[in-house]
Chains A and B, each alone.
Chain A
Amino acid sequence: MKEGQRQKINQAEYLQNLENITRRHFLWESASGLGALALGSLFGSCSPLDRKPDSFLSTNPLAVKPPHFIPKAKSVIYLHMAGAPSQLEMFDFKPDLQKLDGQDCPASLLDGKKFAFIRGVPKMLGPQASFQQYGESRAWVSEHLPHFSTAVDEVTFLKAVQTDQFNHGPAQLLMHTGSARLGRPSMGAWVTYGLGSENQNLPGFVVLTSGGKNPDAGKSVWGSGFLPSVYQGVQCRSEGDPVLFLKDPKDVDRNLRKASIDAINEINHLNYQKSGDPEILSRMAQYEMAFKMQISVPEVMDIHDEPQYIHDMYGTKPGRASLANNILLARKLVEKGVRFVQVFDWGWDSHGTDSDLAIDIGHINKCRSVDKAMTALIFDLKQRGLLEETLVVWGGEFGRTPMQENREGKKNPFKGRDHHTEAFTMWMAGGGIKKGFTHGETDAIGYSSISGKVTPYDVQATILHQLGFDHEKLTYQFQGRPFRLTDVAGKVIHEVIG
């Protein structure tokens, strides 16, 4: 009853405000624009906890909402290397594995285990890279990441992440939606649902992909699941329209677009006066936002104007679709108030079935393609004073085996590693995470976690925690029960919080 009353009051206030805003002149005529309007504060008091979600109010679903407690991070950049990079050639240095190179894998590592492609008894495969220690934290980094070795004192490594899914699609889903099956909202959708969007001219949750393919789990890894679709990630593209249908048709310039939206909204307003339906006011506001997005999105998606030193730093080349470009874009987006940026890069699945997927050929190229840019991201955010409020997360959906893959019991044509669920490395930086820290450890050959084991749920709980959420309380009522990102699991990894 109380809830209903408050909704009514909010609704009435909201209508009055919307009316005032839209009555005569339209929004872009006021210098401040819609982003500055108090739209957000209208529902400001409704935190996700006390909203009754089944009665979803479509009028302003992206209004800014406060989290549960004071957050450390305002936004997240999640870099996902789809296909699963090899921790053994990047961060998890295992000299003992080298000694076993070429020997049969001991039965103790195979008994009762299931692998995606390994059959029978595979050979062990030593690290295909040399390692050194860097920084004050003395973190081990491989020769394939020369730039990143300079950034180790800014990051926390999670060396013992463990998942229970050994196929790409399900493992990616688990990582981003908390369930290996389709149908759940993604992390970015949960965050947008919980926090709303700070910049009303840009989507609150943006997805960038490179590598020529979408992630194996498809668009579900940025989908809204059972949450209203308004919370799904908006894919921004480096070729074609940066957001689908953003560009006006060829005969419509800015003036005419403005004139046509003016006309649409004027008629809509006449209808509002006649029918009294508040949804009309909301639609008028959406058309105005669309008009603004047409300017603001191409602006933010264009990296031509970045100074040369930034391009040198990231290794970016304007006008090309690349992982480096996307990482720079991620920085631009969070700078503009986008809450959640997901960067997916495809092609890390180094089985050794061809040279692009060889651990000592293709995988090195993939390392190089990300090394400079991810390092630049950390330092660039830092020099802008944004690192403290931006949580950067890097990882794959699982790790790779210390054994050489022997698909169908045969030797693969190139050196490669199979999918490995028991231990892999992720790193986090900024957003209130410890600097120069390592959490978790694997055994002498990097096969299993021996301490500091964490799961995808723990990573999710930690990300939500840094954004100011209790992951057990950020829920949505669906099918008669409250659902949450971390399902029935997840513990905040307090050890890595600074």
Chain B
Amino acid sequence: MKLKVFITVFLLLITFTATYYFWPSEKIDFNSQVKPILNNKCIACHGGVKREANFSLLFRQEALAIAESGKKAIVPGDPNHSELVRRIMESDPEERMPYKEEPLSKEEIKILTQWIEEGAEWGDHWAYLKVENPEIPKASSWARNEVDHFVEEKWEQQNLTPSPEAEKATLLRRVCLDLIGLPPAKQNAKLFLGNTDDSTYERLVDSLLASPHFGERWASVWMDLARYADTKGYERDDSRSIWRYRDWLIRAFNKDMPYDQFITEQLAGDLFPNPSDAQYIATAFHRNTMTNDEGGTDNEEFRIAAVLDRVNTTWEAMMGTTFACVQCHSHPYDPFRHEEYYKFMAFFNNTRDEDTEAEYPLLRHFDKSDSAELALLTKWIDKNISSEKASEVNLFVKTWQPAINLIQADQFTNSELSDSKWLIFRNHALCRLQNVDLEKKNQLIYRWLSWKPNGKWTIHLDQPNGPILKIIDVKSTNGNWAISALDFPTAKGVHDLYFTYTNPHLKTPEDNGMMLDWFHFTTSGLEKDKNQYAKFWTLLNKEVQTTPITVENPQSMHRVTQVFERGNWLVKTDTVQPEVPQSLNPFPKEAPKNRLGLAQWMTSKENPLVARTIVNRVWEQIFGAGLAETLEDLGTQGIPPTHKELIDHLSWKLMNEYQWSLKKLMKEIVMSATYRQDSKITPDHLAKDPFNKLYARASRVRLSAEQVRDQALSVSGLLSNKMYGPSVMPFQPDGIWQSPWNGQTWTKSKSEDQYRRAVYTYWKRSSPYPSIMTFDGATREVCTARRIRTNTPLQALVTLNDSVYVEAAHRLALNMQQKSKEVQQQIAIGYEQAIGQPITSEKLAVLEKLYHQALTEYQRSNQKLVSYHKQHDQQLPQTKALALVASAILNLDEFVTKN
């Protein structure tokens, strides 16, 4: 009997055990099940930052290694011999992991155990895997295109159904704001509202995509990523002329430049063979970094700061990845190693810019005839000297590059980098220019100025009193900059140059004699044709406008890139070569190891991040939130996407079907049934999906800062259509600009320039345009991947009281008066002009009441005015009352919101 019971129990036990072990349970998925546990519970101590007990869970190879204890934490396939399993199940609090924290739950322990049992495979995070085209889910007849298939699929679980299509007027305003950032123009309204044909919507979309305003709207988005501003930043925050880059963006968006080309030109336009001016201007993307003009700063520190910013911005803006962490240590959660940051930095560490006050290299903009002259000169050199010399001279005339900047001088006696900006010689001056490559060079072209005649500047080789390369008699330029050339016997090799300077006219040791700006060492040869030589000098000295651009160092100026220990630029360790992180797609074999090759790597179809990042961003601009909400971080710590397959589908299409055309991508999105839904939020929506993550309705989104302004100007008829050109200064209250050591002032622009779109507003980093900032604009000091919308009383004060909006309301009122004599109609017209919908009787009654209340008050106060004042107060009480109504309309929620 006993035996029978025993056998039964034994058999049962075996069955249970067998069931437990051999039941075909789902295989554990690393990304969705294991990685979250590791990230939340383990990796703070055993990851990229800290590696307690020399154990890290960041990479599989590290996790499987023998830890400090001499044991293996993870033995794939063998949980019983895995120290990790023992430690998470341990009851002794000194031994148990996570140390001094809540123990893991049974479920978590089971997942980790089973995962090790199954071989402890490391899965790759979705965003680091190559983009594949997912299977398109089935959909109902509601669907209009494939976007809808992916959206509808997610509704089943929540039992959601689509909202009806939005009213035509609502849809019209929505799609206009989304594509061109402006409310509907009259002709569009007429075309669309007056036509019941289903195809008119598509025609409307096509016409908006073709509108020149399209580029202005989307350039604004990119300018946050590019940290575009019209000033240099930091303390002095002086002006910088870089608006041609903004215009380049507008043009690029308007002509639908393929996105792969769009980012390639910005990262490496200067490395194309014979780059066009436009390609150079595109490289201003990475010259939007800040320049520090504060006296006493270390120029190398801020050059490095700019380079690091370029690395971080490239990742954040174009690859939706927070790379900045890796500057100090391996990424705590994502598969990027510390040294990989510096390998990536090596791509960017060899540009010619060096935190100089002048912000060299600058592209010098010649007018048409001078450009033609330069082309002829280049051609002549090509034919008569050599093609190498031709391209060298062409680059030099266009950019004054390559040149050694004054800030490279050191070892000063009676000489100084004054205010860290200017190289000054006093009497008996001495300084050094280190490591100058003179191989086969026999000419120096340099930029200088002097205050006193009869100076003597001597260039010695290798020692302060070493062999003399050249003695120069320095005349006075009366403090004006000049460019000159001097010849010396053809030299060999790399030398330190020592400069000495004396001048009998300098009476005191404090008097300044001369200043130097840059040094271009070259070979002579142009002199042999007097005409050409004269042309060269004329062009070189031409006073022209400029734009900061990127120019690569020639081999002789090559910088070595080293790893900074814990991110500290003063502690340099291993030397590294340009390379991309191993965990992503391999660097294309045939690609050069420079920024151009880097761009090829990024725009390769193998790159998992670039297409997904832009798809997610375009979606966010249209729906108010990204499919993955954290635009700046698609990595494991970002918020997981709501519709991963949709991101992948659109990304695949962007690369493979649309040949990187953003207009086609946008068209697909706005043509979808998802996009065309009504935005009404039902109680059912609010209960099931309060934040509209599943898109069973359209999202209501407050307009961007730029759109708020542009729309008010547009509906009141004030908006100027003028495109391009230097940034403008619309009305701004006094006393906003107070930068130290900076005499620049906000000078209100004249005539129509006051009423340009916000994309043209002058952007001062330390003191940005106030109303833009109130509506969540970015300061653009660093890359801003997304703006977070807020809703504050200060926003109300802007649209109620900022002169820009007061004027817009007044204009709108005059417009209303012009179109009708009758108050009710005037109000109805004003409302419709602003909101794009006919007014309801209820709303009309509210505004009418406001009108009459205001009118009564204005009439009463008008009677009190003596005739003198009456003459000077030209506005009729009726106009003032109507202006108050117009202001109310411009403040309605439905006006500042995309419905």
Q: What is A's interface to B at a CB cutoff of 8 Å?
A: 7-8, 11-12, 15, 54-56, 58-59, 61, 114-117, 119, 166-169, 181-183, 203, 209, 212-220, 223, 228-230, 234, 237, 239-241, 243-249, 251-253, 255-257, 259-260, 262-264, 266-268, 270-271, 274-280, 282-284, 286-287, 289-290, 293-294, 346, 408-410, 419, 477-481
Contacts and interface: CB of A to CB of B under 8 A. Distances in A.
B472 interface: no
B849 A168 contact: no
Contacts of A7: 690
B746 to A, nearest CB: 13
The DSSP consensus for interface residues of chain B is loop
B559 interface: no
Interface in B306-359: 316, 322, 324-325, 332-334
B361 to A, nearest CB: 24
Nearest to B237: A218
17 contacts: A54-B630, A58-B789, A183-B781, A216-B235, A229-B776, A243-B797, A244-B733, A251-B875, A260-B854, A263-B885, A264-B888, A266-B846, A276-B680, A277-B681, A279-B791, A280-B893, A286-B791
Contacts of A275: 679-681, 700, 899
Contacts of A230: 790-792
Q: Taking each of B700, B740, B891, which has the highest tally of chain A beta carbons within 10 Å of its own beta carbon? A: B740
Contact of A286 (B295, B324, B424, B795): B795
A259 B683 CA distance: 32
B779 A267 contact: no
Given A11-B690, A182-B233, A271-B893, A293 B766 contact: no
A56 B788 contact: yes
B738 A229 contact: no
Nearest to B831: A267
Given A276-B681, A480-B637, A271 B798 contact: no
B857 A480 contact: no
B858 A289 contact: no
B801 A246 contact: yes
Given A286-B791, A293-B793, A166 B892 contact: no
A283 B796 CA distance: 8
B597 to A, nearest CB: 27
A294 B161 CA distance: 45
A223 B846 contact: no
B292 interface: yes
Q: Taking each of A218, A277, A478, which has the highest tally of chain B beta carbons within 10 Å of its own beta carbon? A: A218
Given A286-B795, A479-B316, A264 B891 contact: yes
A223 B237 CA distance: 16
B806 interface: yes
B725 interface: no
Contact of B847 (A253, A263, A478): A263
Given A219-B766, A240-B734, A245-B801, A255 B416 contact: no
B116 interface: no
B735 A116 contact: no
The 9 closest A-B pairs by CB, nearest first: A218-B766, A116-B296, A480-B637, A479-B322, A276-B681, A290-B796, A182-B781, A290-B793, A408-B416
Contacts of B802: 244-245
B767 interface: yes
B235 A217 contact: yes
A287 B891 contact: yes
B715 interface: no
Contacts of A58: 788-791
Contacts of B740: 168, 213-216, 346
B235 A167 contact: yes
B409 interface: no
B194 interface: no
B517 interface: no
A239 B735 contact: yes
Given A268-B893, A283-B791, A169 B801 contact: no
Interface string B657-695: 000000000000000000000011111011100110000
B298 interface: yes
Nearest to A287: B796
A245 B797 contact: yes
Contact of B235 (A12, A168, A280, A282): A168
Given A264-B888, A479-B324, A181 B680 contact: no
A330 B738 CA distance: 21
Contacts, number: 259
Interface string B769-784: 0110110100101100
Contacts of A409: 412, 414, 416
Contacts of A477: 637
Contacts of B794: 203, 234, 243-245, 290
Given A230-B792, A249-B803, A479-B316, 20 more contacts: A11-B686, A55-B691, A58-B791, A119-B416, A167-B297, A168-B740, A214-B767, A237-B735, A244-B733, A244-B794, A244-B798, A245-B801, A248-B800, A260-B800, A268-B892, A275-B700, A278-B681, A286-B791, A289-B796, A477-B637
B294 A245 contact: no
Contacts of B709: none
B842 interface: yes
B55 to A, nearest CB: 21
Contacts of B891: 260, 264, 287
A394 to B, nearest CB: 21
B96 to A, nearest CB: 23
A220 B766 contact: yes
Contact of B797 (A253, A282, A293): A293
Contacts of B333: 480-481
Contact of A263 (B683, B700, B702, B850): B850
B854 A259 contact: yes
A90 B233 CA distance: 33
A103 B414 CA distance: 21
Interface string B849-866: 110011001100000000
B893 to A, nearest CB: 5
A117 B295 contact: yes
B884 interface: yes
Given A213-B738, A260-B888, A255 B766 contact: no
Contacts of A8: 687, 690
Contact of B322 (A257, A290, A481): A481
A255 B765 CA distance: 38
Nearest to A200: B793
Q: Taking each of A8, A249, A260, A478, which has the highest tally of chain B beta carbons within 10 Å of its own beta carbon? A: A249
B644 interface: no
B395 to A, nearest CB: 33
B730 interface: no
A253 B733 CA distance: 21
A489 to B, nearest CB: 12
B790 A481 contact: no
Contacts of B800: 245, 248, 257, 260, 290
B894 A271 contact: yes
Nearest to A11: B690
B887 interface: yes
Contacts of B630: 54, 480
A212 B738 contact: yes
Contacts of A260: 800, 850, 854, 884, 887-888, 891
B635 interface: yes
Contacts of B843: 267, 270
Given A259-B853, A277-B679, A287-B793, A116 B295 contact: yes
Interface in B818-844: 840, 842-843
Contact of B296 (A166, A212, A479): A166
B782 A480 contact: no
Contact of B888 (A263, A280, A282): A263
A54 B797 contact: no
Contact of A479 (B305, B416, B633): B633
A161 B627 CA distance: 47
A247 B883 CA distance: 17
Contacts of B294: 167-169, 216
